[in-house]
C-alpha cells in the first residue's frame, strides 16, 4: 500500500503502479511524505532510480537490520530504527522503519498494517512545510504514546512494587531491561540526527528535539527505578577497620 501525504491532504495512491511512481513528475512540487507499507523489491528499485538513491540505501531497505543508525548522503539522511509502541502483552514492541529524509520529501518504509500518519493529528499534517519537523512529530508522538501506556492504571497494577527474589527468572524484568536498552539507542539516534543541523531541520525544531529527549529520559528514569525495586544493589559488607597503634 502506498500513502502520499501533502500539506492539509492525505490520500492513498492506490491507482499508482510501480512504473508511474518511478516518474519524478508523479510527485508534488511541495514537501511531501511518501509512506510505503511492505513495499516489494521491484517498487523499491523503481523509487530508488527515480530519486537516485545510493545502492547501499536500496539494499538496506530490504534488510532486517535493527541497529539504529543515521547516515548522511549529502542531499538526504538515511535513518534505520525501530519505533517503540505499547503492547498489552509484552509492555512494548518494536516496529522496524527505514526513513529517507530530505528538504523536499520524507519517505518511510515499514511493514506495519496501520500507516504511521494515522497516529498524527490533522494539524501536524496540515503544517507540512518542513519534512524534518514532521519526522520529529512522528517520534514525539511515539514517545508520548509510551508514556500514556506506561503510566496507565493497568500497567501500574502489574509493575513491581517490591523486591523480586530471582529477578532474572521474571519475564517482566527482562522486558524492562530490553525497554531501557531500546530507549538508550533512541537517545543516541536523536543526537546523530541533530548533528545534521539546519540542512534538514528548521531552527524551531530544537524544541522538538528537547521534548522528545525529555520524554525518553522520563521513561528511562521510571524504568531504572522499577529495575532497582526488583533487584536492588547488594550492600557491601561492613568491614571494621582496626587502626594500628605504633
d(CA 130, CA 68): 23
Domain coordinates in residue numbering, the chain: 2-230
CATH architecture of 2-230: 2-Layer Sandwich (3.30)
| pLDDT over threshold 60, residue 122 | no
pTM value?
Answer: 0.81
The 10s digit of each residue's pLDDT in 65-99 is: 668 899 999 999 999 998 888 887 777 888 889 99
The 10s digit of each residue's pLDDT in 136-188 is: 988 988 898 888 887 776 666 666 656 666 766 778 788 888 999 999 999 99
* Amino acid 233: pLDDT: 64
Amino acid at each position: 500500500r502506498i500513502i502520499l501525504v501533502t500539506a492539509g491532504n492525505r490520500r492513498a495512491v492506490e491507482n499508482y503502479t510501480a512504473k508511474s511512481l518511478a516518474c519524478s513528475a508523479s510527485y508534488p512540487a511541495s514537501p511531501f511524505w511518501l509512506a510505503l507499507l511492505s513495499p516489494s523489491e521491484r517498487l523499491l528499485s523503481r523509487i530508488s532510480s527515480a530519486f537516485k538513491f545510493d545502492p547501499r540505501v536500496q539494499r538496506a531497505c530490504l534488510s532486517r537490520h535493527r541497529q539504529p543508525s543515521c547516515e548522511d548522503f549529502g542531499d538526504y539522511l538515511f535513518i534505520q530504527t525501530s519505533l517503540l509502541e505499547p503492547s498489552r502483552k509484552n509492555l512494548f514492541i518494536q516496529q522496524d522503519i527505514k526513513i529517507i529524509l530530505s528538504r523536499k520529501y520524507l519517505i518511510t518504509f515499514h511493514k506495519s498494517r496501520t500507516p504511521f500518519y494515522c497516529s498524527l493529528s490533522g494539524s501536524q499534517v496540515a503544517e507540512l512545510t518542513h519534512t524534518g519537523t514532521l519526522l520529529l512529530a512522528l517520534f514525539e508522538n511515539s514517545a508520548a504514546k509510551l508514556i500514556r501506556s506506561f503510566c496507565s492504571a493497568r500497567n501500574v497494577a502489574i509493575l513491581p512494587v517490591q523486591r523480586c527474589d530471582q529477578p532474572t527468572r521474571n519475564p517482566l524484568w527482562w522486558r524492562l531491561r530490553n525497554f531501557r536498552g531500546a530507549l538508550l539507542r533512541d537517545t543516541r539516534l536523536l543526537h546523530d540526527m541533530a548533528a545534521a543541523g539546519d540542512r534538514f531541520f528548521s531552527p524551531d525544531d530544537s524544541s522538538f528535539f528537547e521534548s522528545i529527549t525529555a520524554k525518553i529520559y522520563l521513561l528511562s528514569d521510571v524504568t531504572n527505578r522499577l529495575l532497582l525495586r526488583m533487584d536492588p544493589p547488594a550492600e557491601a559488607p561492613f568491614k571494621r577497620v582496626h587502626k594500628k597503634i605504633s
